[in-house]
Structure 1
């Protein structure tokens, strides 16, 4: 199922890119405020984690008002408690609606590949899933033709915890607020 979804996404992206009028590339750097939403986490471990996000993007303009922006980024997420920290390489595909030259609305899916988690989970039996899917929404503001800032909210849509080999079921999902600045080359 995941392979079919990925294939459909790649075909869909290819069609947009083939019809794109103009394209720009760049880098973005930002700060995350993330937390794991779960009833299985003790109250003293619920504090949000402040992390970093850094990556590259390509923006393809389909029309004057619509663009698609696939990205590849590193993102540190999880909770403040060390055993609830996790880092991802993420692939968001952001669809933008540009209201004017300054403001845009951003929506899209995101797939994340876990590249690190705290090794010693202490008393927690659960590990994080290798793949995390999320829905992303946000607003962007163009400062100049090259610089922009954006604010995004990410909501994990699959169970964050791996269920194999554990005695009880853990459930939870990631939520993340991200503020970033970008530079278009």
Structure 2
């Protein structure tokens, strides 16, 4: 977990330094807070068959927007998501590093990698705690300070940690996909 937080800090620092060095671009940097609804879907595939299950929850976090040009910015985030079902809850720390293409003054297209980490050790039995996904989405500015965004993250990494007891020799994969719909506030 320390490595994930260090990586997030390094990305924020690197992008901030690069944005400050380029005076020819509108190097405005904005920070803010965000939160909303999230859904986690676990998709398991084995020998040509697949099944999935999802659980809902909420997320809160912080973001930065670093202008790279008039139409493009980098938007790293650090987000904590909590999922709850049948009285049991799980936490996931997410660090997306998104490119944001502004199609017009108020509408942006989001894309980029998302790193996630299962925070509860007991929830990760048989699963890898660290995962990588590809996020795609959109954002709409409601005002200069407030925006609404929605994104879907496709899990890329297989989350199965080794052979599962009793299922050795089977080709089993598990991926986490995330849906997020929320609101952000620029400080």
Taking structure 1 as the reference length, the TM-score comes to 0.78
Corresponding residue for residue 178 of structure 2? 176
Q: Does residue 1:38 correspond to 2:40, yes or no?
A: no
Structure 2 Cα separation of the partners of residues 108 and 16 of structure 1: 19
Which stretch of structure 1 is more off in the superposition, 138-147 or 159-168? 159-168
SS at match of 2:57: strand
- Matched length: 169
Structure 2 portions without partners, runs of 5+: none
Structure 2 Cα separation of the partners of residues 157 and 86 of structure 1: 21
- Cα offsets for 1:52-76 (capped at 9, x unmatched): 1110011001111100011111023
Residues 159 and 37 (structure 1 numbering): CA distance in 2 closer, same or farther, change over 3 Å? same
| Alignment match of 2:60 (pick from 54, 59, 69) | 54
Structure 1 portions without partners, runs of 5+: none
Structure 2 Cα separation of the partners of residues 46 and 104 of structure 1: 30
TM-fit CA distance, 1:137: 0.6
Taking structure 2 as the reference length, the TM-score comes to 0.77
Which stretch of structure 1 is more off in the superposition, 157-166 or 68-77? 157-166
Give me the CA root mean square deviation: 3.0
Is contact 1:24-1:184 (8 Å) kept? yes
In the TM superposition, structure 1's runs of 4+ consecutive aligned residues that sit over 2 Å from their partners are 9-20, 79-83, 164-170
